[in-house]
């Protein structure tokens, strides 16, 4: 790839991003996706800062400026994915809460991975911070690919149309992320040169922005299969039932109830024993004219008590 082609593809990015931002203002979808809109503005502002440094500044200035931009861009990109995910699950508040928790844990795990990579990376020209940024960048790309796969698999169950703006945003991110991860793997295995990687990366980024432009310029149409959506409604109801368990059925109250029942059982057993002894004594006093013998029951091989009249016993004697 020639430097002129690379420069042209790079200049085309803020132009396309400006078109996407303008389409969002025209369709009044800015308030629906505020983080994505801010992400576009940040991309445009970053180009206006980095391009003059790249053309006329020193390499060291561009190096630190580019990687600072990459770190902020990762955070904003992850927030956009989080925003799209919540917008998709907007009709299902319980699933939305579950997704929010999963995204928070994913962010924490990526942060810990970045810290470990930065601390354990050997000394290199780029430095440990760059290695950490690259590692987190790959993690975010994996999350973006996972989001588009999630939409492709569960779009029918969630009632998501392929013509919705949220699906288009996720499609652009997912396609770009998949291409970047593929080219990285090819470059690491010496199957692609650095020039080819740069060309494919710029081209896939422009295609992703073009995808956003097409989706944001069109109307968002939501079509849902009623039978499929009922399945998601059952998932929502099931999670709601698990989430709205009364406080009396929580783990602490359950153990307290077990202890109370055990104590009440220990207190009631002596009282029942005394009551049984007094009842047996009353029966024995009423049946003073009877004697008791033991015999075996055909239906019960054990010994049972059988009353025999005392008069009959005297006759037999």
Long-range contacts of 116-119 (CB under 8 A, 24+ apart): none
pLDDT tens-digit readout, 258-288: 556 555 655 555 555 555 555 545 554 554 4
pLDDT at 306: 36
The mean per-residue pLDDT over the stretch 171-191 comes to 91
The mean per-residue pLDDT over the stretch 107-118 comes to 77
Per the model's pLDDT, the better-predicted residue between 296 and 118 turns out to be 118
Residue positions counted in the chain: 317
The mean per-residue pLDDT over the stretch 52-68 comes to 91
pLDDT at 227: 45
Most confident of 96-105, 120-129, 280-289: 96-105
Against a cut of 0.75, is the pTM above it?
no
The pLDDT mean for the chain works out to: 75
Of 128-142, 165-179, 256-270, the poorest mean pLDDT is in: 256-270
Confidence of residue 238 (pLDDT cuts 50, 70, 90): low
The mean per-residue pLDDT over the stretch 179-199 comes to 90
Of 143-147, 149-153, 189-193, the poorest mean pLDDT is in: 149-153
Locus of tokens 């588009």:
148
């Amino acid at each position: 790839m020639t430097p002129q082609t690379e420069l042209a593809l790079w200049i085309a990015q803020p132009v396309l991003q400006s078109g996407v931002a303008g389409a969002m203002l025209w369709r009044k979808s800015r308030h629906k996706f505020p983080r994505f809109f801010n992400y576009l503005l940040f991309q445009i502002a970053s180009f206006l800062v980095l391009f003059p440094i790249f053309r006329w500044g020193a390499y060291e200035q561009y190096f630190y400026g580019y990687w600072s931009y990459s770190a902020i861009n990762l955070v904003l990109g992850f927030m956009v994915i989080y925003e799209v995910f919540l917008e998709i699950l907007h009709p299902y508040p319980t699933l939305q809460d579950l997704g929010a928790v999963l995204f928070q844990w994913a962010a924490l795990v990526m942060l810990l991975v970045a810290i470990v990579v930065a601390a354990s990376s050997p000394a290199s020209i780029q430095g440990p911070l760059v290695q950490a940024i690259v590692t987190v960048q790959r993690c975010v790309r994996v999350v973006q690919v996972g989001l588009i796969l999630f939409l492709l698999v569960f779009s029918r169950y969630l009632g998501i149309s392929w013509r919705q703006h949220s699906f288009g945003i996720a499609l652009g991110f997912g396609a770009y992320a998949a291409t970047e991860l593929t080219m990285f793997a090819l470059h690491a295995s010496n199957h692609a040169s650095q020039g080819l990687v740069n060309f494919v990366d710029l081209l896939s980024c422009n295609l992703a922005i073009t995808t956003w432009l097409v989706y944001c310029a069109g109307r968002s149409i939501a079509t849902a299969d009623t039978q499929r959506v009922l399945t998601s409604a059952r998932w929502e109801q099931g999670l709601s039932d698990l989430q709205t368990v009364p406080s009396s059925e929580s783990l602490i109250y359950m153990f307290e109830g077990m202890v109370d029942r055990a104590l009440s059982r220990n207190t009631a057993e002596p009282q029942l024993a005394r009551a049984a002894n007094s009842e047996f004594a009353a029966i024995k006093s009423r049946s003073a004219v009877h004697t008791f013998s033991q015999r075996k029951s055909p239906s019960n091989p054990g010994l049972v008590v059988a009353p025999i009249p005392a008069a009959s016993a005297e006759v037999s004697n």
